[in-house]
Amino acid sequence: MKKSSLIMMIAAVSVLTITVFTTSNAEDSKTVAWYAANIKEAKTKVQECHDNASLKDSPECANARHALEISFGVGQK
């Protein structure tokens, strides 16, 4: 019985740890609304994403690009 309790405790701690790291990483990413309100930072981030191909498909780069598209009507007819 004690062995199964130990396994359950380790599993619970593991899930909690993964949840904390996932949540903290998600909070680091700025939203489209934030970039739309901070156009200078959006332009800087888009340039950074353009210069670093490994960042190109990140959520942060997508949010910055989308904010600029919304703010300046890029891609709209």
Has residue 26 got a pLDDT over 60?
no
* Band of residue 58 on the pLDDT scale cut at 50, 70, 90: very high
Please check the confidence at residue 39 and state whether its pLDDT lies above 80.
yes
Q: Give the model's confidence band at 44: pLDDT under 50 very low, under 70 low, under 90 confident, else very high.
A: very high
| Average pLDDT in the chain | 80
Q: Are residues 49 and 77 in the same domain?
A: yes
Number of domains in the chain: 2
Long-range contacts of 64-71 (CB under 8 A, 24+ apart): 64/30, 64/35, 66/32, 66/35, 67/32, 67/33, 67/34, 67/35, 67/36, 67/39, 67/42, 68/35, 68/39, 68/42, 68/43, 70/32, 70/36, 71/36, 71/39, 71/42
Domain that holds residue 22: 1-29
22 with 40, same domain: the answer is: no
Residues 77, 46 within the same domain: yes
Region 26-35: what's the mean pLDDT? Answer: 83
pLDDT of residue 72: 87
pTM of the entire predicted model: 0.60
